[in-house]
Amino acid sequence: MDDADARQALALERIAAALERMSPPPASAPDFGAAQAFLWSTEPDRLIPVPKVNRVEIGLLVGVDRARDTLLDNTRRFAEGLPANNVLLWGARGMGKSSLVKAAHAEANRDGRLVLIEIHREDIPTIHRLLDLLRGEDRRFLVFCDDLSFDREDQHYKSLKAVLDGGVAGRPENVLFYATSNRRHLMPRDMIENERSTAINPSEATEEKVSLSDRFGLWLGFHPCDQAEYLAMIRGYAAAYGIAIDEETLRAEAVEWRQTRGAMSGRVAWQFVQDLAGRRGVHLAPRG
């Protein structure tokens, strides 16, 4: 082999290596019995087991009774192999949307065959590869995306729309998709209004944008809590973790805490309980 042939062979090897990096071999399914939950990661594609899920018991979620019952019923039916819907949990920040998804998974996963898989928003374009990996497995899977939304010029929503119930292959029978979002239609309002005002056919352009949320059979709304619900959340946490405090002191300190934060929500209530437990020397058991 002369120098020219050697250089050509080396160049071909480099091209082949580059193509392999761009198109990695399909990921192999992990041992789904090793954990209750996994994280979907790319480059390379893989499912990372989560030894202990960070979650709160479903009984501690206050003020979301209707959403809790609906989501739990849907999740249990799916775990039992019955028809169920994709779910969009939307609304106010800090009101327990993602906590409810994880708590419902724990309640429905009594036989250990319902697996929770979290996918990050930026990895949505790879969701078809994740579904190909799960298709045909004998377990049931909740694919969960927290804080899902799409901004102007973001075309990732088309990848999700295609796999939820469209496309040739469709969504595998053993997979449901749960998502949380602060936006009911997953798009900012000004983006939808801009489509409506600039398109030749405004109604069709708007339909293209909002049709993604229509792929979710269940919409569960979460709204800001009032002070009574906020205090009830704190009382529930204090009782569950053994924090002794009289009602008058709890009320005064909790109200002052939320005033300094300028908000009331389940997240603010939990942050107050963490502060209260620390000041009183109470160790909070890991949630999960």
Is residue 288 very low, low, confident or very high in pLDDT (cuts 50, 70, 90)? very low
pLDDT at 197: 52
Mean pLDDT, range 32-61, rounded to an integer: 91
How far from 194 is each of 80, 189, 197, 236, CA to CA, in Å? Answer: 44, 9, 5, 45
The overall average pLDDT reported for the chain is 83
pLDDT at 160: 76
pLDDT at 242: 92
Is residue 3 very low, low, confident or very high in pLDDT (cuts 50, 70, 90)? low
How far apart CA 210 and CA 159 sit, in angstroms, is 14
Residue where the block lists tokens 């209004």: 193
Tens-digit pLDDT profile for residues 119-148: 998 898 899 899 999 998 999 999 999 988
pLDDT at 101: 96
Asked if the model's pLDDT at residue 68 lies above 50, the reply is: yes
How far apart CA 124 and CA 118 sit, in angstroms, is 11
Largest CA distance in the chain: 90
Asked if the model's pLDDT at residue 280 lies above 70, the reply is: yes
Most confident of 24-38, 71-85, 148-162, 167-181: 71-85
pLDDT at 87: 95
Is residue 30 very low, low, confident or very high in pLDDT (cuts 50, 70, 90)? confident
How would you write 217-283 as a 3-class SS string? CEEEEECCCCHHHHHHHHHHHHHHCCCCCCHHHHHHHHHHHHHHHCCCCHHHHHHHHHHHHHHCCCC
Asked if the model's pLDDT at residue 78 lies above 90, the reply is: yes
pLDDT at 148: 86
DSSP state of 200: S
pLDDT at 194: 53
Mean pLDDT, range 14-25, rounded to an integer: 58
* CA-based end-to-end distance of the chain: 64
Residue 221 pairs with which residues in a beta bridge? 90
pLDDT at 193: 52
Asked if the model's pLDDT at residue 155 lies above 50, the reply is: yes
Asked if the model's pLDDT at residue 188 lies above 80, the reply is: no
How far apart CA 129 and CA 208 sit, in angstroms, is 24
Query: Reduced to 3 states, what is the DSSP secondary structure of residue 285?
Result: coil
Q: Where are the beta strands (DSSP E) in the chain?
A: 37-41, 46-50, 87-91, 114-118, 140-145, 175-181, 218-222
Tens-digit pLDDT profile for residues 196-241: 555 445 555 555 556 677 788 899 999 889 999 999 999 999 999 9
How far apart CA 218 and CA 70 sit, in angstroms, is 9
Higher pLDDT, 240 or 21: 240
